[in-house]
């Protein structure tokens, strides 16, 4: 059950990122943990929750395809989701390997770490 929930959260995040800046901002405001780190292409490191939420409100992706979704549960309150993505925004294509780490806080999963490796 937890594995399906975490994979659904990743898909929901991409749906929000492909809908509007406001939808992405609202989704990540709800899902991000109180402490979070994101390692992004070009050596960008984001570790301030407010800045991460603000960065999500950019132009939406036109399309996205997720592949090879996997979920590992090192503990009952920790989950790691890995997958590949090909996303498009207009004529720009982005292909990367993704990893997201979630922790269970009370009754909800929270995103505490995310890394993107362009391919």
Site of tokens 């390997």: 97
Checking phi first, is residue 106 left (phi over 0); if not, alpha (psi -120 to 50) or beta? left
Structure tokens belonging to residue 56: 């999500």
Q: What is the pLDDT along the chain (119 residues), one digit of tens a residue?
A: 899 999 999 999 999 999 999 999 999 999 999 999 999 999 999 999 999 999 988 899 999 999 999 999 999 999 999 999 999 999 999 999 999 999 999 889 999 999 999 99
pTM here is 0.94
Kind of pairing between the strands at 108-118 and 44-46: unpaired
Structure tokens belonging to residue 2: 């937890």
Please state the domain extents for the chain: 2-118
pLDDT, residue 71, reads: 98
Q: Are 53 and 31 in contact (CB under 8 A)?
A: no
Buried-exposed string 14-45: b where 16+ CB fall within 10 A, e elsewhere: bebbbeeeebbbbbbeebbbeebebeeeeeee
pLDDT, residue 58, reads: 85
CATH architecture of 2-118: Roll (3.10)
């Amino acid at each position: 059950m937890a594995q399906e929930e975490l994979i659904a959260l990743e898909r929901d995040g991409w749906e929000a990122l492909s809908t509007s800046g406001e939808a992405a901002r609202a989704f990540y405001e709800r899902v991000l943990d109180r402490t979070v780190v994101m390692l992004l292409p070009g050596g960008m490191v984001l570790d301030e929750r407010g800045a991460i939420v603000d960065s999500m409100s950019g132009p939406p992706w036109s399309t996205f395809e997720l592949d090879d979704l996997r979920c590992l549960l090192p503990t009952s309150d920790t989950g790691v989701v890995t997958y590949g993505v090909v996303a498009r925004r207009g004529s720009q294509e982005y292909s990367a390997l993704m990893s997201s780490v979630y922790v269970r806080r009370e009754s909800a999963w929270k995103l505490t770490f995310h890394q993107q490796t362009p391919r």
